[in-house]
Amino acid sequence: MAVPRRSLDGRLFWVLGLVCAMYQIFFVRSAAGQTAQLSVNASPQNTQMIPENMFGIFFEEINHAGAGGLWAELVNNRGFEAGGPNTPSNIDPWLIIGDESNIIVATDRSSCFATNPIALRMEVLCESSGNDVCPPGGVGIYNPGFWGMNIEEAKVYKVSMYIRSSDSMDLTVSLTSSDGLQNLAAYTITADKEDFKEWTKVEFDLQSSERNSNSRLQLTTRTSGIVWFDQVSLMPSDTYMGHGCRKDLASMLANLKPKFLKFPGGNYVMGNYLSNAFRWSETVGPWEERPGHFNDVWGYWTDDGLGFFEFLQLAEDLGACPVWVVNDGASRNEQVPSATIAAFVKDVVDGIDFARGDPGTSWGSVRAAMGHPEPFQLNYISIGNQECSMHYYKENYRKFYSAIKASYPDIKIISSCDRSTISPVEPADLYDVHVYTSSGDMFSKSSMFDSTPRGGPKAIVSEYAVTGNDAGRGTLVAALAEAAFLIGLERNSDAVEMASCAPLFVNDNDHRWSPDAIVFNSWQHYGCPNYWMLHFFKESSGAALHPSTIHVSNYNQLVASAITWQNSKDGNTYLKIKVLNFGNKAIDLSISITGLENEVQTFGSIKTVLTSGSLRDENSFQQPDKVVPVESPISNAREEMSLVLDPYSLTSFDLLLDLKSSLQMMHSVPESSLHSSM
């Protein structure tokens, strides 16, 4: 689970900090051996402003990140479409309660929805009395969700389904344990023969009397007859901002304070084949009418409850700029020639119309009908997913660029080609960069943009991650290497506009790709070390970057940056100095700060450290806080000070510069602080 911020009595907090400082002075520093000097020039005339949208997040439907994850829908294959259009088809993961002597289920094409025509036909052969008596609990079907439904005590869950039958009905809808023996909540639907002769939507709430993290939804009866079901949904009533995302997972995103949300993915946008690519227009409007599609790249069905509208809504709820990755007529195995790309181009412009159009327009009215009459602030479009080398990409790209700019000249367009190919003939506002490599190489890439020419389009590093053996499922060394890379991006933010890691989420039951930032199952979650590392950068977007220089002999494992940021909650101003030690030596670091307009305050400054006992340490459900940032007060905070850097560590020093209220002095803690040292 994510670890909440702990609280300490203010006086105890500072006493403990003094003890820690004394320990460092008398024990650690004498053992450090290696010395380094860090100089920071904080004068206003040398300040460089970091872009407002520098650090954000990238969501891809991979590892069941959305279906069975961020999207709170608990029913898996709610419309019975996952088995394909041929009938009868597989209804996995739905299963029957009873056996073939008393129940027969199969799909047919009798749904009332033209866009998803498959429905489930259930024929019950037994009765509550007579010769063919049903089992005591009845017969029917159940859905286990995505590796079990997490049902919480006293929580309310909204059930929605479509039913058709010409027979009388006595149907119980219940939440039970995975074996059906523990009853958590139930609702009975009774009807005469004519009541459900036509397809009818039924909605009601279930409130659970107990908690069970491995539950299922059951539809059972002891009345013979034939019943059809379609679009069976179970949603928690308590979702993030009331917009359908799982509250705990979305809150972890919010805690990063992302400045942009790039979606809906990379390969997921393309598909192995275009027939399975993400089609935005099929993911908007009433959820019952969305056909869903097979995510053929990552091998599972998604009903597209988390669609284009929901991504835009999530970005708005997070206070992040949406960055839409569009299909440019290419899948991983197919390409659309430029002569026939016009329909794809129009589709993208229509999508922008949906997001930004007036409610009186064709697509704007669809958005308004979904409850959002105001336009979304969609200002970034990424053309494709790193398929610059494909034969038709460049010619197709120009057509997308021209059409989008003609209708929306303010939109920034991101090219999948690198900087060297961009010219007046091949224009772009930004160019996309993906970096997947080992930890050692990722550390070296902290200087990746040092020599990039300034002027012209800037980079969006929309996907980066340490991969390979030392990455594990999210190790300390991977997080530290990525931190070095981000410090390099921060220092080169005049050449880099935006950055986000990948992948963001993984359902622990479906590790298609590792490592990931956030791991979850139906009821638990935790942040990997690289998730906690990102907290060191959440104040950087829009902050003032100051020149900093490290002097150290025969040791090239240090990188650093310095920014000034303001705490939005209390108005206090801090100088944040981040130092990454990627080596095995403790460093006796001397810091010298010049050019400050306000002095460093004696109290209120905080040191935060991310490290652990082993480079391969990971977090887990059993030890979610094994590798997390730990904070402590800096007792000797001033313009000239000496501190010790742990081996293999990321350390930030948040030095209080401008205290708005003297009453806050003894208790002032930067908004970035996460964990208090004991």
- In a domain, residue 70? The reply is no
Assess if residue 581 is contained within a domain.
Answer: yes
Are 299 and 352 in the same domain?
yes
Domain harbouring 580, CATH code: 2.60.40.1180
pLDDT of 658 reads: 76
Are 288 and 224 in a shared domain? no
- Coil, strand, or helix at residue 522? coil
- Whether residue 620 lies inside any domain: the answer is yes
Residue the block writes with tokens 């069970």? 212
CB atoms within 10 A of CB 468: 16
Domain boundary among the residues 367, 385, 420 is at: 420
**204 and 284 belong to one structural domain:** no
What's residue 137's pLDDT?
Answer: 92
**Averaged over 510-531, what is the pLDDT?**
97
pLDDT band at 659 (very low <50, low <70, confident <90, very high): low
**Within a 10 A sphere around the Cβ of 296, how many other Cβ atoms?**
20
Q: Both 115 and 204 in a single domain?
A: yes
Closest CA to 14 of 567, 603, 610, 600: 603
CA–CA gap between residue 460 and residue 174 (Å, rounded): 48
Whether the CB-CB separation of 609 and 629 falls below 8 Å is answered with yes
Q: Nearest Cα to 72, choosing from 530, 520, 620, 374? A: 520
Mean pLDDT on 82-103: 96
Tokens of 424: 């007046």
Q: Which two tokens stand for residue 62?
A: 């991979």
Note whether 284 and 370 are same-domain residues.
yes
Sign of CA dihedral 527, 609, 12, 14: negative
What average pLDDT is seen over the chain?
Answer: 92
Q: Who's near 219: CB < 8 A, 6+ residues apart?
A: 122, 140, 141, 142, 171, 172, 173, 229, 232
For the cut 50, the answer to whether the pLDDT of residue 365 exceeds it is yes
Task: Establish if 60 belongs to a structural domain.
Answer: no
Does residue 21 carry a pLDDT above 50? no
- The domain that holds 360 is classified in CATH as 3.20.20.80
Last residue in a domain, options 190, 220, 236: 236
Please say if the pLDDT value at position 103 is more than 70: yes
Q: Are residue 311 and residue 187 in the same domain, yes or no? A: no
Whose tokens are 């799982």? That residue is 246
Q: Are residues 279 and 156 in the same domain?
A: no
Q: In this predicted model, what pLDDT tens digit does every residue of 395-417 receive, in sequence order?
A: 999 999 999 999 999 999 999 99
- Amino acid, res. 539: E
Residue 30: per-residue pLDDT: 38
d(CA 133, CA 128): 5
- pLDDT higher than 70, residue 20: no
Q: Which residues contact 379 (CB under 8 A, 6 or more apart)?
A: 321, 322, 410, 411, 412
The model's pTM: 0.92
Q: Does residue 318 carry a pLDDT above 90?
A: yes
- The range of the structural domain enclosing residue 632 comes to 34-50+542-658
In whole angstroms, what is the distance from residue 655 CA to residue 24 CA? 19
Are residues 264 and 232 both part of a single domain?
A: no
Q: Are 273 and 412 in a shared domain?
A: yes
659 SS3 class: coil
Position 509 in a domain: no
Looking at the structure, do residues 272 and 404 belong to the same domain, yes or no? yes
pLDDT given for residue 297 in this prediction: 97
Examine residue 605 and state whether it is found in any structural domain, yes or no.
Answer: yes
User: Does 248 map to a domain?
Assistant: no
What's the confidence (pLDDT) of residue 678? 36
User: Residue 223 has what DSSP assignment?
Assistant: S
Cβ pair 405, 438 in contact under 8 A: no
Other Cβ atoms closer than 10 A to 522: 22
Given a cut of 50, whether residue 664 has pLDDT beyond it is: no
Backbone angles phi, psi at 31, to 5 degrees: -95, -10
Query: Are 640 and 592 in the same domain?
Result: yes
- pLDDT bin (cut points 50, 70, 90) of residue 218 is very high
Q: How would you classify residue 165: left for phi > 0, otherwise alpha for psi between -120 and 50, otherwise beta?
A: beta
For the chain, the domain total comes to 3
Of 404, 420, 436, the residue at which a domain comes to its end is: 420
Which of 440, 445, 435, 485 is CA-nearest to residue 615? 440
Q: How many CB atoms lie within 10 A of CB 309?
A: 23
What is the H or E stretch that residue 152 is in?
A: none
Output the pLDDT for position 128: 86
What is residue 660's predicted lDDT score, i.e. its pLDDT? 58
Please tell me whether residues 396 and 341 are part of one structural domain: yes
Query: Which of 164-168, 565-569, 589-593 bottoms out in mean pLDDT, i.e. has the lowest?
Result: 565-569
Amino acid identity, residue 203?
E
CATH code of the domain in which 167 resides: 2.60.120.260
The 3-state secondary structure of 364-423, one letter per residue: HHHHHHCCCCCCCCCCEEEECCCCCCCCCHHHHHHHHHHHHHHHCCCCEEEECCCHHHCC
Position 7 in a domain: no
pLDDT band at 130 (very low <50, low <70, confident <90, very high): confident
Query: DSSP state, 481?
Result: H
Assign 33 a pLDDT band (cuts: 50, 70, 90). confident
For the segment 187-215, what is each residue's pLDDT rounded down to a tens digit? 999 999 989 999 999 999 999 999 999 99
